[in-house]
Chain A
C-alpha cells in the first residue's frame, strides 16, 4: 500500500478552481517534489493532504486515512508562511511540538536539547525567540519541523530566506531523515533541491496535473536531449536546419526532443564542413530547463507532446 494516496482531488473556492482532478501516490520512504509557478495550486494541494483544507472532491490519504491530529503517523510540516512564538524560548517551543506529537516531556526535552546542540543554539535555549537573529529563528523553524522523527515531512519552500549555512543544515537533517525512511513531500521551485532530494515529481499547471512520475521520466518526456557544441570559426549556412541556439560566443545548443542520431549526424556534417569542434556533449534536460520549457520564460505554458 502506498503511504500517500491522492485520488481525483479537486478544490474550488466558489467559482475559482484551485485544483482539478489530481492523482498521485507516494510509497513509504520515497520522496516527491511538487513543482509549479506561483498560483498553480501547490500550497492548496499540500493543505488538502494535511487536512487543513477539505477537498471539494476526491480524497487525500496518508497511510490509508485522511490526516487529522489523531492520525497514527507523525507529520513534520514547514509551511511557506512561517512564524514562531516570539516571546517564548527555543527550548519551550521545540519541546511543545515534540509533546504535541506524542513524545513524553523528558524525551521532548532531550530531543530539543540535542537539536539545539547540533545547530549551535544551546546558549540561546532559554532566551526569547524574538531576540534571535533571522538565521537563528530559521533554525528554530527547522527544529519544530523535525522534532519527534516524523513519518512524513511536508516542506513548502523550505529554504526560502535561508542563508547558505542554514541551507546546509537543512540538507543535513533532511538527508538523515530520508535515510531513516521518512517520506518526503517537497514543494519547491528550486530545481537543484528536486534533483538532490527527490525521486518523483509532480508538475502543476493552473491547478491541473501536468505531469507526475519519476524525475528521470520527467527529464525524458518533458525535456528530451540537449546537445551542446563548442567550436571555433564560423558555422556553415546549412547549420540553420538544426535550429541551433547560441548560448555564448563559440557555443551552441541543439534543443528539443531530438534523437541521438540527429546529434551524431550534425557532428559529422559540421566536421565535414571544416568546423573546428572543441567540445561536444549530449545529455538529458535539467529540471531548470524543463521548468522554463514547461512554464515558458514569460510564464506562459508550453504544451506537453
Chain B
C-alpha cells in the first residue's frame, strides 16, 4: 500500500480547512434541513386528522346534514353554517357567493362526504377535507352513550405488538432501526463524498499541475494522499452536518412526529451492529476507490457527474426491492444485488438489518467487494500515473 505523502497531505488538509466555503457548506446544510423538516411537519400537522381530540379546526364553511349526524354547537364553534337546500348551496358555490360547502350523506355506511369549493387551486383546500372528517368524527363521539368506546372508534387506542422468532421475542422494527443507521450513513457518504472525490482529482488535471507534482511525489503516493485527504475532509464535513441533525432528531423527533424517534425503544443487536460496521467500511472503501478511479480518468468534474449518477442509482437500487429483500432474500434478483459490487453494500446492509443474510452469503459477498475495491484502486492508480495511457488500462495491467 502506498504511503501518503505527508507534506502533500498537510497542504491539502490545510488548504481546505482554511476555506470559509468548506465550513459554510457544512453549517448551512443541517440548518436548511431542520427548517425544511419543521415546515413540512407543521404543514402536515395543520391538515392532519387527530381522532383523539374533541375539538375541530376553525374556518368559514357551510354544511348540509340531512342525516342529522353533525353536532350543531360544534359546527357553529368551528365556523360552520347549516344549509337546508344542498342543491341551491352548490349553485352558490359555483357562482362564488359561497366558498366551501360540506354535504354529508344520509347513510354513513355507504355514503361519502362531498366537498364543494370555489377557487382553491388544483388540489383544493386540504383543510376542508380534514375539517369534514373531524367534524363528523367528533360529533359522533360526542353522541356516544358509552364514552369508553371513544378511543377504539377514533383509532387512538394504543397497539402493542409482540413478535416471536425461533422461540424468542422478535423486537421487530425497533431492532431493524439501529443497523439501518449504517445504511443512512452509507447513502449520505456516497452522495456527499463521491462527487467531491472525483472533483478533487479532476481539479489537478484542469489546473495542469499534475506533471510537476509527479516529479516530487510519486503518482501512487499522490493518489493515495488525495484519497485520504478527500475522505477525511468529507467525513469531517459529514460529522459537522450530522451532529446537529442527530441532536435535533432525538430532541424534537417525537414532537414533530418523525419516524422511529424513540431511541429508548431501539434494540441493539451486537452481532448485527458489528457486521453492519464491517459492511459499511467495505462499502465506503469500494465507493471511494471507484470514484477515485473515475476521477483519475476524467478531464473535468462535469465529465464525471454522469458516472457519479449511475453509481448512486446502483447504490439505491436495492431500496426499490424492499419487499423482496425482507421477505424473499433467496430470489434471483436479491441474490444478484447481494453479490454485484455496486449494489452489494446497500443490499447487505438492508439484509443484515432484516436478519436474513447467511454467514456464507456475507463472507462471499464481502470477499468479492474487497477484491473489487482493490482492483478499482489498482486500476485507478495506474490510470492516474498515466502509465497505461496509450495502450489502455487493460493492456497496461500486464506491464
B19, B211, B391, B399: which contacts A77 (Cβ < 8 A)?
B211
Q: Which of B7, B11, B212, B386 is the most central at the interface, judged by chain A CB atoms within 10 Å of its CB?
A: B212
Q: Does B148 contact A (CB under 8 A)?
A: no
Q: 1/0 per position for A22-62, CB-CB distance to B under 8 A?
A: 00000000000000000000000000001011100000000
Q: 1/0 per position for A83-127, CB-CB distance to B under 8 A?
A: 111111000100011011100000000000000000000000000
Task: Tell me which residues across on chain A come within 8 A of B389, comparing CB atoms.
Answer: 13
CA of A77 to CA of B213, assembled, Å: 10
A77, A100, A145: which contacts B7 (Cβ < 8 A)?
A100
Residues A75 and B7 in contact, CB atoms below 8 Å apart: no
Residues A83 and B391 in contact, CB atoms below 8 Å apart: no
Residues A101 and B214 in contact, CB atoms below 8 Å apart: no
Task: Tell me which residues across on chain B come within 8 A of A13, comparing CB atoms.
Answer: 389-391
Q: Does B122 contact A (CB under 8 A)?
A: no
Q: Using known A-B contacts A14-B391, A97-B216, A101-B216, determine if residue A83 contacts B15 with beta carbons closer than 8 Å.
A: no
Task: Tell me which residues across on chain A come within 8 A of B11, comparing CB atoms.
Answer: 92, 96
Task: Tell me which residues across on chain B come within 8 A of A81, comparing CB atoms.
Answer: 208, 211
Q: Which of B8, B15, B399 is the most central at the interface, judged by chain A CB atoms within 10 Å of its CB?
A: B15
Residue tally, chain A, CB below 8 Å to B: 30
List the B residue with the shortest CB-CB distance to A14: B390
Residues A75 and B391 in contact, CB atoms below 8 Å apart: no
Residues A86 and B207 in contact, CB atoms below 8 Å apart: yes
Task: Tell me which residues across on chain B come within 8 A of A180, comparing CB atoms.
Answer: none
Q: 1/0 per position for B198-215, CB-CB distance to A under 8 A?
A: 000000001111011011
Shortest Cβ gap from B110 to chain A (Å): 70
CA of A14 to CA of B214, assembled, Å: 24
CA of A242 to CA of B399, assembled, Å: 59
List the A residue with the shortest CB-CB distance to B15: A88
Q: Does B59 contact A (CB under 8 A)?
A: no
Q: Does B387 contact A (CB under 8 A)?
A: yes
Shortest Cβ gap from B144 to chain A (Å): 71
Q: Using known A-B contacts A54-B387, A88-B15, A92-B11, determine if residue A100 contacts B209 with beta carbons closer than 8 Å.
A: no
Q: Using known A-B contacts A13-B390, A13-B391, determine if residue A75 contacts B215 with beta carbons closer than 8 Å.
A: yes
List the A residue with the shortest CB-CB distance to B395: A14
Residues B215 and A50 in contact, CB atoms below 8 Å apart: yes
Residues B209 and A77 in contact, CB atoms below 8 Å apart: no
Task: Tell me which residues across on chain B come within 8 A of A181, comparing CB atoms.
Answer: none
Residues A68 and B387 in contact, CB atoms below 8 Å apart: no
Q: Does A79 contact B (CB under 8 A)?
A: yes
Q: Does A213 contact B (CB under 8 A)?
A: no
Q: Does A144 contact B (CB under 8 A)?
A: yes
Interface of A, secondary structure class, is loop
Residues A69 and B218 in contact, CB atoms below 8 Å apart: yes
List the B residue with the shortest CB-CB distance to A78: B212
Task: Tell me which residues across on chain B come within 8 A of A101, comparing CB atoms.
Answer: 216
Task: Tell me which residues across on chain A come within 8 A of B7, comparing CB atoms.
Answer: 96, 99-100
Task: Tell me which residues across on chain B come within 8 A of A97, comparing CB atoms.
Answer: 212, 216
CA of A82 to CA of B204, assembled, Å: 11
Residues B15 and A82 in contact, CB atoms below 8 Å apart: no
Task: Tell me which residues across on chain B come within 8 A of A87, comparing CB atoms.
Answer: 15, 19
Q: Using known A-B contacts A52-B214, A69-B215, A69-B216, determine if residue A83 contacts B387 with beta carbons closer than 8 Å.
A: no
Task: Tell me which residues across on chain A come within 8 A of B218, comparing CB atoms.
Answer: 68-70
Task: Tell me which residues across on chain A come within 8 A of B206, comparing CB atoms.
Answer: 83
Residues A77 and B212 in contact, CB atoms below 8 Å apart: yes
Q: Using known A-B contacts A81-B211, A83-B209, A96-B7, determine if residue A52 contacts B386 with beta carbons closer than 8 Å.
A: yes
Residues B208 and A83 in contact, CB atoms below 8 Å apart: yes
List the B residue with the shortest CB-CB distance to A145: B212
Task: Tell me which residues across on chain A come within 8 A of B19, comparing CB atoms.
Answer: 87
Task: Tell me which residues across on chain B come within 8 A of A84, comparing CB atoms.
Answer: 207, 209
Q: Does B128 contact A (CB under 8 A)?
A: no
CA of A16 to CA of B390, assembled, Å: 10
Shortest Cβ gap from A191 to chain B (Å): 26
Q: Does B221 contact A (CB under 8 A)?
A: yes
Residues B217 and A82 in contact, CB atoms below 8 Å apart: no
Q: Which of A14, A52, A144 is the most central at the interface, judged by chain B CB atoms within 10 Å of its CB?
A: A52
Task: Tell me which residues across on chain B come within 8 A of A77, comparing CB atoms.
Answer: 211-212, 215
Residues B207 and A100 in contact, CB atoms below 8 Å apart: no
Task: Tell me which residues across on chain B come within 8 A of A96, comparing CB atoms.
Answer: 7-8, 11
CA of A88 to CA of B12, assembled, Å: 10
Question: In residues 225-279 of chain A, which contact B (Cβ within 8 Å)?
Answer: none
CA of A56 to CA of B92, assembled, Å: 91
CA of A144 to CA of B209, assembled, Å: 11
CA of A100 to CA of B5, assembled, Å: 9
CA of A70 to CA of B214, assembled, Å: 11
A14, A82, A86: which contacts B212 (Cβ < 8 A)?
A82
CA of A92 to CA of B209, assembled, Å: 14
CA of A92 to CA of B399, assembled, Å: 37
Task: Tell me which residues across on chain A come within 8 A of B387, comparing CB atoms.
Answer: 54
Q: Using known A-B contacts A77-B212, A99-B7, determine if residue A92 contacts B207 with beta carbons closer than 8 Å.
A: no
Task: Tell me which residues across on chain A come within 8 A of B215, comparing CB atoms.
Answer: 50, 52, 69, 75, 77
CA of A52 to CA of B52, assembled, Å: 75
List the B residue with the shortest CB-CB distance to A54: B387
Task: Tell me which residues across on chain A come within 8 A of B212, comparing CB atoms.
Answer: 77-79, 82, 97, 144-145
Residues B386 and A100 in contact, CB atoms below 8 Å apart: no
B5, B15, B211, B399: which contacts A52 (Cβ < 8 A)?
B211
- Beyond the given pairs A69-B217, A85-B207, A88-B15, 4 more chain A to chain B contacts, judged by CB atoms under 8 angstroms and listed by A's residue number, are A52-B214, A69-B214, A96-B7, A97-B216
4 smallest beta-carbon distances between A and B, as pairs: A83-B208, A100-B216, A13-B390, A83-B207
Q: List 8 A-B contacts (CB under 8 A).
A: A79-B211, A82-B208, A83-B208, A85-B15, A85-B207, A87-B19, A97-B216, A100-B217
Please report B residues at the A interface, Cβ cutoff 8 Å: 5, 7-8, 11, 15, 19, 206-209, 211-212, 214-218, 221, 386-387, 389-391, 399
